[in-house]
Amino acid sequence: MSTPAPHKPDTNVYRVRRDTRLAQGLFLCKIIIKKHGSVQIEGMGESISLVAKLSQILAKDGFTITKNLEALNIGEGKTINPKLVINLTKSAQFDELTKDIVPRE
């Protein structure tokens, strides 16, 4: 059984998994923002700390502006998983900071 891809090319959603690397996630988020103008980073369980870290780094370095943050609990009974969804939009200086990145079509 294969695992789902962390990003579907036609949407601006980036799903963080347990095995996602920070540098890879930052680069893919920049590519998504270049294509769509915004990115929605989401993760469940163990990966919510990486979701927060990705959004903090992108905002701190001037790439994005945090638009919306949503924390949810998914599940019922004894198994409840936290889910974190953060929407980021392109900052004014994003294009200048990422002028060397050219996404594939």
CATH number for the domain including 35?
3.30.110.20
So what's the pLDDT on residue 25? 95
Mean pLDDT, residues 74-84:
87
Instruction: Report the alpha-carbon angle 97-99-101, nearest 5.
Output: 105
Asked if the structure places residue 58 within a domain, the reply is yes
Confidence (pTM)? 0.84
Mean pLDDT, residues 92-102:
89
Number of domains in the chain: 1
Does residue 9 carry a pLDDT above 80?
no
CA gap 53, 94 in Å, rounded: 19
Asked if the structure places residue 54 within a domain, the reply is yes
The parent domain of residue 90 ranges over 13-97
pLDDT averaged over the chain?
89
Percentage of the chain exceeding pLDDT 70: 89
Cα dihedral 80→32→10→38 (10° resolution): 70
The arrangement of strands across the sheet holding 13-16 comes to 13-16, 38-44, 79-90, 64-76
Asked if the structure places residue 60 within a domain, the reply is yes
